[in-house]
Structure 1
């Protein structure tokens, strides 16, 4: 959707302000459509009344993403790939983070297969207020045996906790065996190529599943195949333009990804506007050293998270390989228009009591969770009050006026904090807000002592040894 003006969307609405969509006005609803906080189907008069049929079709066309959105899997773990509108994040935001699919193979012993599946599905990391984890499982056919592949898919389904699957083989017979087991789960099949495309297209049509088109390093050929599949009514497509893990062809890989994204979102080439798959797993073709391979897999993942990769197949489950990419993906797919925030208020770390300190910070999520982590990791029982600064950090909010002594006082009053119940009633300011200490002493006179803590929360444990409890 290139449209950024609510007024132009408003023209396609009933303009009755009926509030059935949940918004007070049609203009507010139009703004919600642009921000993707509202859906076309929520305007029930537009959908249900025949007199609005032309407007409905026009609106659907306007709000359709520039990059086709493809759904993989079913239920609450279903993933969405593609659906983007911009070339670069700063132009608006990215909406659908690329799911990471970690591989298993059909030549694994059943116990090892189950062990790896469980490791994939249970891996989680808490980062800035949200759990990060794996979204998909890629089942690779190494044996090229339909029966063994079907057995592996069945085992993965039984132990995969509903994770969406990618069925990986260039052999249509193998893919069919997997689909006979897993079609109801709507897996992505990988892949149709120049040799098998007719058979794979028939499988996608018969089983009604999304399909990957693999034409390495030939964008014209990839486009031709996409047009062919679309003419057959198959539009749930993912493109694989090839992933070279190193050398000059890696540069070409990056250029291909950029050109595909540009063709879709800037040149409106609808016949190739599909999400693109990356194979960081190819890093394992470059070396026999598992540490180097895992490292390079992480590097490739990072490069293509930034360059618009919509779905990725990976291998290493080592934390040193997974965590950097999870963190980068989280940051890139965070809306730059809205700071990441926590709910303002009083939080407990550990089991604080009357002798525990009260630390002050802002509700910028990165700041809050850094402070919380530094306190918790040192076994300190404490209270933290997060002041509403619209998600701005301490230093910037002090300078910009979002954090003020009066707002701090109001925040404690709203939270209803019981200073009288504290043996050591004291508020610990971050060092960067030290200039507020005098005014806060006046505002909290008779209630709490104002103390100035370190500028860096990593030094809280040392500060506690020197200054707590207060004298």
Structure 2
């Protein structure tokens, strides 16, 4: 593989970007000057399209050069349209500590066309309505993969029409038969579905369909990376660019082989800038259902742990079958964790939160602004049905224990927060409940604030019992 002469995102400096900006310091992007904007672009916090002057025709050449400079080694491919459009790929690095991973891998659930319409409708509704709130974020499923099991073009069209009438989720059309795909596209090509798949046996007919309809396509060569690269090269020469690679997803004793192939492709793209490997990767944990006859629960378990491994090792899109919460929620939460910015802890805004209907005698509690801490405390307060005020302190997104250890939560910071949020106007008393993990700050906090400190439980699940038993405190 020939290594291209280009830079990785870590080698690009803000100066490289700044030189190609209009350099007017107009602040239309929201930053004070062009250098600040360039720094955020290099850090992945801004996109170059956020600079309005750069979009003017006189800067067309500079914009093109910037896009080439900042283009990720793994191409970003768009599937679907409208508000539910998904983007896969767009990766710059192998490891998330090097640079934030972009575009979390969407999870698509399959819809086989041999199911009865009522069951299809129920399955689509489950996918459409699947939602879980996790530390202030709503986790959902992302797409539907319609599989031609009957090999009947008319039935495939019927199912697609049924599904698109029930939801606006992006679609993956699954068949190796060009005539089946042609029939499917006749009723949904305007939705820009992902076509699965081009192979060595159908590349000419399927390639013509892709060209005619302008849809993204999966290039599939399970277990043969050389063949996969050959197909990609051929399609590129045809002018087809929006491709997703399927190197094959093997399960059971062959999981190691699957991870090895995904890793090899991603390393070739990111380390060697191999253009034929620089495309999003499709993982199909659904393949476990084609294995030996096992119980449904075992298949779900195998599918779940295979999916989590693929999310970790470079899959940019997953197709799954299971709809059980215990099989899907771990993937959604794991995906969320991996695709957060490692340089920025997930946090909430500092300030005062009001729970229930507090009055001048209600408790005042404090906590950190680390999202997981805040939403856990919020949930426990609501579960205990406590009327209170919660002062969320800016700890830089660190948990209580880490913030205390790192001096991001100190007695003086607590005192400043009480003043900033006018805690003395909220209640008539001067009792403050601090987290049990910040107990060592109690004496200093009393001196800094003039408030009496009540040390709360180490685990917020005990807040309800503490308030019931120890509120109001007895003033000594």
TM-score of Structure 1 vs Structure 2, range by shorter chain:
over 0.9
Residues 30-49 of structure 1: CA distance to partner in whole angstroms, max 9, x if unpaired? 11222333333343444435
Query: Which residue of structure 1 lines up, in the alignment, with residue 296 of structure 2?
Result: 290
Quote how far apart the aligned CAs of 1:323 are. Answer: 1.0
> Could you tell which deviates more after superposition, 150-159 or 428-437?
428-437
Distance 1:419 1:425 in 2: 11
Residues 353 and 323 of structure 1, relative CA distance in 2, 3 Å threshold: farther
Query: Which residue of structure 1 lines up, in the alignment, with residue 39 of structure 2?
Result: 31
The answer to whether structure 1 residue 459 and structure 2 residue 462 are counterparts is yes
Correspondence for 1:213 among 219, 228, 239? 219
Residues 318 and 352 of structure 1, relative CA distance in 2, 3 Å threshold: farther
Q: 2:280 aligns to what SS in structure 1? A: coil
Contact conserved, 2:351 with 2:393, CA < 8 A, in 1?
yes
The answer to whether structure 1 residue 240 and structure 2 residue 246 are counterparts is yes
- Tell me how large the CA RMSD over aligned residues is: 1.8
Query: Which residue of structure 1 lines up, in the alignment, with residue 194 of structure 2?
Result: 188
Distance 2:27 2:426 in 1: 47
The answer to whether structure 1 residue 362 and structure 2 residue 368 are counterparts is yes
Distance 1:24 1:357 in 2: 42
Distance 1:327 1:174 in 2: 36
Residues 435 and 243 of structure 1, relative CA distance in 2, 3 Å threshold: same
Query: Which residue of structure 2 lines up, in the alignment, with residue 61 of structure 1?
Result: 68
Moved >4 Å (runs of 4+): none
Residues 157-211 of structure 1: CA distance to partner in whole angstroms, max 9, x if unpaired? 0111x11111111111111111111111111011111111111111111111100
Distance 2:99 2:185 in 1: 38
Distance 2:147 2:467 in 1: 54
Quote how far apart the aligned CAs of 1:420 are. Answer: 5.6
TM-score normalised by L of structure 2: 0.93
* Superposition map of 1:333-348 within 5 A: 333-348=339-354
Query: Which residue of structure 1 lines up, in the alignment, with residue 15 of structure 2?
Result: 7
Query: Which residue of structure 2 lines up, in the alignment, with residue 264 of structure 1?
Result: 269
Distance 1:39 1:454 in 2: 44
Contact conserved, 1:419 with 1:425, CA < 8 A, in 2?
no
The answer to whether structure 1 residue 304 and structure 2 residue 310 are counterparts is yes
Contact conserved, 1:191 with 1:214, CA < 8 A, in 2?
yes
Distance 2:423 2:82 in 1: 42
Quote how far apart the aligned CAs of 1:253 are. Answer: 0.9
The answer to whether structure 1 residue 137 and structure 2 residue 137 are counterparts is no
Residues 379 and 21 of structure 1, relative CA distance in 2, 3 Å threshold: closer
Contact conserved, 1:98 with 1:305, CA < 8 A, in 2?
yes
Query: Which residue of structure 2 lines up, in the alignment, with residue 91 of structure 1?
Result: 98
Query: Which residue of structure 1 lines up, in the alignment, with residue 155 of structure 2?
Result: 148
Query: Which residue of structure 2 lines up, in the alignment, with residue 108 of structure 1?
Result: 115
The answer to whether structure 1 residue 175 and structure 2 residue 181 are counterparts is yes
Q: How many residues align?
A: 465
Q: 1:97 aligns to what SS in structure 2? A: coil
Quote how far apart the aligned CAs of 1:5 are. Answer: 1.4
Q: 1:346 aligns to what SS in structure 2? A: strand
Quote how far apart the aligned CAs of 1:254 are. Answer: 0.6
Contact conserved, 2:251 with 2:288, CA < 8 A, in 1?
yes
Distance 1:351 1:274 in 2: 54
Q: 1:91 aligns to what SS in structure 2? A: coil
The answer to whether structure 1 residue 411 and structure 2 residue 420 are counterparts is no
Residues 420 and 74 of structure 1, relative CA distance in 2, 3 Å threshold: closer
Q: 1:373 aligns to what SS in structure 2? A: helix
TM-score normalised by L of structure 1: 0.94
Quote how far apart the aligned CAs of 1:26 are. Answer: 1.6
